[in-house]
Amino acid sequence: MQSLWRDDEAADYRGDLAQRVYTSRLLGRDKSLVLHGGGNTSVKIRERNLVGDEEDILYVKGSGWDLEFIEEAGFSPVRMAHLLKLAKLKALSDPQMVNELVTHMTRASAPAPSVETILHALLPHKYVDHTHSDAVLAVTNTADGPHRITEIYGDKVAVIPYIMPGFDLARLCAGLLPEQSGKNTIGMVLLNHGIFSFGATARESYERMIQLVDMAERYLEKHRAWHLQPAAGAVPPTTQPAEIAALRKSISQCAGSPMIVATLQNSRTLAFVRRADVATVSQQGPATPDHVIRTKRLPMAGRDVEKYAQSYQAYFAQNTQQGKEPKTMLDAAPRVVLDAGLGLCTVGRTVKDAAIVADLYTHTMDVIERSTLLGGYKALPARDIFDVEYWDLEQAKLRKAGKPPLFAGEVALVTGAASGIGKACVDALLARGAAVLGLDIDGKITTLHKRQDFLGIRCDITSREAVIAALASAVCAYGGLDILILNAGVFPGGTKISALDDDAWRKVMGINLDANLMLMRECHGLLKLAPRGGRVAVIGSKNVPAPGPGAAAYSASKAALTQLARVAALEWGADNIRVNTLHPNAVFDTGIWSDEILSSRAAHYGHSVEQYKKNNVLQTEITSRDIAELAAETCGPLFAKTTGAQIPVDGGNERVI
């Protein structure tokens, strides 16, 4: 491991806290050290307060901040004098500790301090760094981990047995650290947890961390436990999307709500899930208890969700009986699935959660394999893992999380998603918490949104092969399909029937009707597996009940599409799929309405363009957002008992009424 310190970069960070920010970000860049909010850093600074008194302040990383992107505002300033008094108490509960930390900050707007704040205060060093180094965990998570740590470091580090983070850990370190420290001591290893380094400057503390981790990496390399081999000629599975969707449905039923399932099928994950001993090595426990909040105690090997849930319930019952207080069980669904046919599947309430689980378990795989090569992977006992998973502080976070968004954990597909009504539908669904696949023949769909819960694919929806490939990508990314918005369509310029040629007719029918038939057919099997039931919203047209002259192909295609939707509602009700149609009119902020077409249609009716836009009973303009919001709502609980409906969104049209 190499230091990332650069003098030219560091020069831009002036002052003790700024230097703390810089080296914290350096640590955060290396995912083998910290992941997704893991680890913490601190600096002790003497400051003058508002009334002129000088006091020592501990600036420690605040809750919710990631070291890679932390700023000065991400550090919680806590009065050292009070922390040192707290450290002398014989006992301090977690809720009491959190209250004392928060109420003794010097800035009310600061984030809640780390649960390891008291430990940072007790360490007699200006700067303190703490990481969950993969290399160190690979060494400590073996049967003879303490001996190996001593072999690597000698008197450079103190060795602390595992204890749950918080007040008790601070007290334990306060007692053991002086006994083990000498002139060469530059850090501390917490077995099965992580490693600390200290220093008088930010650079010294940071580079000591790099030095200590590098020593662990070199030790692993010396014992041929560092370089991991990918599966020789690993061939990605040819799994059908329906298999992943079926697994997702089982997991969601177990969890009690829809879940995102992301599937990774690269050579690294395939090498691990196809190990002959994967059912054994994967069931020992997480690399560090800090990961268990996201990944749960154990991954599921195979696809038997019911068996996994029973095992988890037994684990909960056993440890609750041994515990001092009754606890409420979290859902028994897995967060990690290891399957030779599927690869590595990670589960989360959101796409972000599933991605975090994927990152954590990818590093866990490295730790497990290196520990195995070193002599055998050995995690903490189940009781210690249980205490972290059902930690009072974590339970309090869950209670504060509030009600999830309407479509949290669900997946939607929108066609014609690059502009107009389709783009507005994407926005409406994302705002309600859904992960969205957007399809469009316009290449700008691929950059419509830069976020994990949106996948934009350039796709000709008249091509079955392209649609099947797009669906496979979506299922691999998110796990299935819950909502289908059929929006893509074309509206040619006004042409009378006497002038309508066969090619123009077929083009309109091919896109507006045939492509939608194919999409519905290919999506049906996935919609059947939607945890809350599938939902389809079809964007029809006012021209269905009230066609206009010069729009024969468009009107006929939308009328046929409406009939198709009605038949689907009849046939798919038994599959718990509901299908409803919206009939918009005069939505002019869409791609099919060019200035030329708009002027032509306005002139046909003897109106100005502005009059034409509001030519309805309510004399109001209809926008893409109006259609999208209603389309999204028809897929929500308010329309849970409605299918086969046709809903006008036209401001009131006299011919329709």
Using CA atoms, how far apart are residues 489 and 518, in angstroms rounded to an integer? 14
Instruction: Report whether pLDDT(126) > 70.
Output: yes
Instruction: Report whether pLDDT(464) > 80.
Output: yes
Q: Residue with structure tokens 């918009």? A: 584
pLDDT for res 454 = 98
pLDDT for res 208 = 98
Which of 648, 625, 632, 646 is CA-nearest to residue 421?
625
Which of 38, 116, 27 is CA-nearest to residue 68?
27
Within 8 A by CB and 6+ apart from 333, the residues are: 251, 252, 254, 255, 259, 305, 308, 309, 347
pLDDT for res 533 = 97
Phi, psi of 336 (to 5 degrees): -135, 135
pLDDT for res 324 = 58
Longest dimension (CA), the chain: 98
Which of 268, 329, 337, 287 is CA-nearest to residue 307?
337
Using CA atoms, how far apart are residues 374 and 223, in angstroms rounded to an integer? 7
Out of 478, 554, 605, 612, the active site residue is 554
pLDDT for res 297 = 82
Query: What is residue 488's three-state secondary structure?
Result: coil
pLDDT for res 238 = 67
pLDDT for res 291 = 83
**Could you tell me if 532 and 248 are in contact, meaning their C-beta atoms sit under 8 angstroms apart?**
no
State the pTM of this model.
0.92
Across the chain, mean pLDDT equals 93
Query: What is residue 500's three-state secondary structure?
Result: coil
Query: What is residue 344's three-state secondary structure?
Result: strand
Using CA atoms, how far apart are residues 107 and 72, in angstroms rounded to an integer? 12
pLDDT for res 139 = 97
* Structure-token pair, residue 97: 């500790």
Higher pLDDT, 599 or 572: 572
Using CA atoms, how far apart are residues 195 and 512, in angstroms rounded to an integer? 61
Instruction: Report whether pLDDT(144) > 70.
Output: yes
Which of 253, 256, 366, 251 is CA-nearest to residue 300?
251
Query: What is residue 76's three-state secondary structure?
Result: strand
**Could you tell me if 650 and 585 are in contact, meaning their C-beta atoms sit under 8 angstroms apart?**
yes
CA distances in angstroms from 194 to 170, 213, 308, listed in the order given: 14, 10, 29
pLDDT for res 387 = 85
The pLDDT tens digits for 237-252 are: 666 899 999 999 999 9
Confidence of residue 492 (pLDDT cuts 50, 70, 90): confident
For the question of residue 554 being annotated catalytic, the response is: yes
The pLDDT tens digits for 29-88 are: 999 999 887 899 999 999 999 999 999 999 999 998 999 999 999 999 999 999 999 999
The pLDDT tens digits for 296-331 are: 889 999 999 999 999 999 988 888 877 656 667 778
At 479, the amino acid letter reads G
Using CA atoms, how far apart are residues 297 and 555, in angstroms rounded to an integer? 57
Q: Which domains does the chain have, with CATH numbers?
A: 7-222 (3.40.225.10), 241-399 (3.40.225), 411-649 (3.40.50.720)
pLDDT for res 568 = 98
Instruction: Report whether pLDDT(566) > 70.
Output: yes
Confidence of residue 231 (pLDDT cuts 50, 70, 90): low
Instruction: Report whether pLDDT(234) > 70.
Output: no
Per-residue pLDDT averaged across 503-515, rounded? 95
**Could you tell me if 258 and 252 are in contact, meaning their C-beta atoms sit under 8 angstroms apart?**
yes
Phi, psi of 300 (to 5 degrees): -95, 120
Alpha helices in 292-375 (DSSP H): 292-295, 305-322, 351-374
Instruction: Report whether pLDDT(449) > 70.
Output: yes
**Could you tell me if 302 and 339 are in contact, meaning their C-beta atoms sit under 8 angstroms apart?**
yes
pLDDT for res 326 = 61
